[in-house]
Amino acid sequence: MAHTFRRATSSGAQYTGEMDFLLSDEQRAIRDTVKQFTDERIMPNAIENDQNHYLDMGVIEGMAELGLLGIVIPEEYGGAGLDYVAEALVCEEIERGENAFRTLISVHVGLNSLSILRYGSEEQKQRYLVPQARGEKLGCFGLTEPGAGSDVVAMRSTAVEQRGSYILNGQKTWISFAAVADTALVFAKTDPDAGHKGITAFLIELSSPGVTTRDIPGKLGAWAGSTGEIFMENVEVAAENVIGNVGQGFEIAMHSLDQGRFTVAAGGCGVIRACLEKSAAYAKERETFGQQIGKYQFVQDMIAQMVLGYETSKLLVLQAADMKNRGVRNSRETGLAKWHATEEAFKAADLAIQVHGAYGYSAEYGIERYFRNARAPILYEGTTQIHKMLQAEHALGYRQLNGRGGEMSPIVAWEQA
């Protein structure tokens, strides 16, 4: 089996053939360029920025210059027009350096821009998508509320139509880059009695009257990033800022999460790889009882587990990327990759601390930073428990496989009960 990747179309990627594991010259060049960027622009200050809770906007500007803030957006809308394997490679390299900047790709590209690309009008694409793809504006994603996380329909934000506009009221929480973004894709109930069919998606400018934002203090990790809240008090939003149709918000949110989860999974591969590479290097430097600690079977066992975690996670990410490049729905495969990669990233960070001993527990080597940062992805964009439930329901036949007429990954042989 073989494939080649080409430039993006309106769906974000153009694809011919089937998956193999050889990267194109273009994909290798992108990977190597972003690896160098991470080594030179992110890694030297990563520990210091983390300890100081400092978001380095200069790095974000550098990412924009490389085209990473529009990586899978077609060139006609200001993007780089690359495929999903390239996006996965970029997310892995970036999160190898710092979780906060991979998170930006997740929310700005995956959750926000790709939703505008699919559901937005041409006017919305020109007004919002183009500057976001160029990195001139930053977008975020407002779905989660204090009482509505996994249960999206429990949201309390409302949007009431009034003379050709909508008046939005509500609160969104745990919103990455809320305090620094220019626009937000937010969800509110236009018909509180219609369940998931009563939710509508809106694009709002965070400088609008009635909108306030603030950072959330006291987080376990992601100290070098921005995680905040959005408050909407009688915010007037023009009807032309509705994304898709009124009542289509739940569908749009689920599509958005499929895109974001993919980048989270790819970023998890970066955490595992960083922990593996740092642990292997340290195990060959550190000596006890007259030999390198890498000679001890207990240490080798931990290194081997990281190898397994990395390669299985990356295979699942590539499986999802293959389906995305073919333009077929991949909710099941993306969810599987997200669940596995985030859990393995946290395990790898825990093992890396053990390999490094007391040095792993201190900020000096930066290992504890990976441990703290790897915890949140297990929670957001679908908890591990939600993804386990979805995988079981697919297998049991309680849930349609990737929707009506959906298909499975071509490597899967098991049949739905």
Residues carrying an active site annotation: 381
> What is the rounded distance in angstroms from the CA atom of residue 298 to the CA atom of residue 225?
35
Q: Phi/psi zone of residue 290: left (φ > 0), alpha (ψ -120 to 50 degrees), beta?
A: left
- Angle (nearest 5°) at CA 116 between 267 and 341: 15
Q: Any long-range contacts for 288-295 (C-beta under 8 Å, 24+ apart)?
A: 293/355
Q: Rounded to an integer, what distance in angstroms lies between the CA atom of residue 390 and that of residue 154?
A: 19
Residue 15's SS3 state is: strand
> What DSSP character marks residue 141?
E
CA distance 257 to 255: 5
> With contact defined as beta carbons under 8 Å apart, do 77 and 8 qualify?
no
